[in-house]
Amino acid sequence: MHNQIYEEIKERHNLWELFTKKEEYSPIQLDREGRFSYKYSNHKNVLQPVVSEYLIGKGFYVEYPEQKKFAIVLTHDIDDIYVRTRHILLSFFNFFRYGNTHGFLPLIKGWIDKSKSPYLNFKKIIQLEKKYNAVSSFYFLAEDNVSGFTYNVEDIEDEIGQIIDEGCEIGYHTGYYAYDDLNKIIEEKRRLEGITNRKIIGVRNHALRFKTPESWEILSKAGFKYDTSYHYHDMVGFRNGMCHPFYPFNLTKKRRIDILEIPLIVSDIALRSFMKIEPYKSWKIIKYLIDIVEKNRGVLTILWHNWTFSLPVSCAAWFGKEWTKLYEKILDYGTRKNAWLTNCRKLWEFEKKVGILKRG
């Protein structure tokens, strides 16, 4: 089926260049993290899934389980577990903004005793999702040095086991320095698999560091079945015009890359830290994206970091309680719109069994 999709898109040269992201093969400029940013792209209409719309208009269709109309895929990157001095200092600077709402006691307790860290909040996240019959994916780091901050996955083996027991997925979050190092990725993947006692099939690159198409090739060689890194760090939306999972095409080698991309569409940190949009304005954008994905029977992948749920010390006071409420608003709206609230692994299994985009 992917060959039919490729041939259909190739008929429209501009859409083919957008789908394959030709402009990213020889980027004129990257940010300090080595990322191709939205601000450097010539394609600015990222709030419109123009490639998916074209395919749907050409007769491709999607059928989801239990007659669901579209899918909202829920994911969480686990960047922080241990409380750092940095978190306490940032909370101090934000104390006068939030007053007693963001007290220091939980942070200090977590700083002294790692087992009491407020970022160990996986049960809280899962219980919230259970209210809406939803399951999510959790992506854990497995490197020893994470851009100056560390946590050892071996220390939270019990918590990881509990996440699996709840029917959620454990995925791999590539190390900051490992995202383009095949041997390092394989080593860290095996480390995480040693804790989960099962194959890790899904991945997201830390800090969304990504090179097109090299990252897909590396992750495919490392044995991953799907990736969900493809997202601008500084903008929400459809990076290559797709609101459906797809198999990337390597323009240099002129062949399909054997890894399913489940593109990330909305992330908390893009909205808050880079677009600098408050929750009430963020909701207007998210609602618009949900509605347009529903119209195209697509997939909206959401990233909400675990520290966004750790009130009253959420990410050292960067995120207030409104961001936790915003996540639940997404779950509630999706439920009312008859969306399949699922995780990446279940979506990948469904795609392998049935297929996401089929020709009518």
Q: Indicate the pLDDT class of residue 308, thresholds 50, 70 and 90.
A: confident
On whether the CB atoms of residues 209 and 233 are closer than 8 A, the answer is no
pTM: 0.95
Q: pLDDT of 164-182, one tens digit each?
A: 999 999 999 999 889 999 9
Q: What secondary structure does DSSP assign to 16-64, as a single string?
A: HHHHHTGGGTS-S---TTS---GGG-S---TTS-HHHHHHHHTTEE---
Domains delineated in the chain: 2-359 (3.20.20.370)
- 48-62, 72-86, 194-208, 289-303: which has the minimum mean pLDDT? 72-86
Mean pLDDT of 127-141: 98
Question: What are the DSSP calls for 95-109, one per residue?
Answer: HHHHGGGG-SHHHHH
Q: What is the pLDDT of residues 257-292, one digit of tens each?
A: 999 999 999 999 999 889 999 999 999 999 999 999
pLDDT tens-digit series, residues 218-267:
999 999 999 999 999 999 999 999 999 999 999 999 999 999 999 999 99
Mean pLDDT of the chain: 91
Q: Quick one: what percent of the chain has pLDDT higher than 70?
A: 90
Q: Which residue's entry shows tokens 């946590």?
A: 151
CA atoms within 13 A on the CB side of 101: 15
**Are the beta carbons of 77 and 139 closer than 8 angstroms?**
yes
